[in-house]
Amino acid sequence: MKSAVVFSARQLLGYEFCVQLLEKGYTVFAEDFMEWQNEDHEEKWLFIGRNANLQYNQLDDLLSAKQNKYIDYVFIPLPDFYSRDFPQIQKQFIDLLKNITKDEAISQSNFIIIQPSAIHYRNSYFYNEIEKVKSEIHERGTMVMEYYVPVDEQDTFLLFTSKLNEKWSTLDLTSSIANEIICHVENSIYTKK
């Protein structure tokens, strides 16, 4: 059975990745910060929270929760982090990413980074730190696929690139962003079998 870690699992895009991955039969390690939770998150979580293939953890419990299991994919939906102004959580998340990318089992995973396409984020501390972590992941030889989500809901495509193909390409959107990205990753010649 394939497995995936999904960060910001109870947030808008992270939750959508959890739902889509569970529908495809993945074991999902759902990670989030308790400080972000509200009633809407709790209510939505009831929809998938009882799934036997779902394991929810607070972010700092990831390494102990996976117990040296191989993880196929690590999904990092950054729009969920940019949409909320929690500098302390962003810093904690950067520190966590630096730690988990050193974990032997996770360092062999395929990292899927979903970025917001808004330019104004590019001058932020969080963006710069994410770029550093991404470079470190690349240097270790780990597969990284990166997607930019549309700015406008009327846009019908995503932009993507990978470590092996540094040119940006487009991917037509015919269903949800999460579903399109998962299908693209699964069908990509770059993913590990």
pTM (predicted TM-score):
0.88
Structural domains in the chain? 3-187 (3.40.50.720)
- Residue 191 in this model has a pLDDT that exceeds 60: no
What would the pLDDT profile of 129-151 be if each residue is shown by its tens digit? 998 998 888 888 788 899 988 76
- Model pLDDT, residue 23: 95
Pairwise CA distance, residues 183 & 23, whole Å: 12
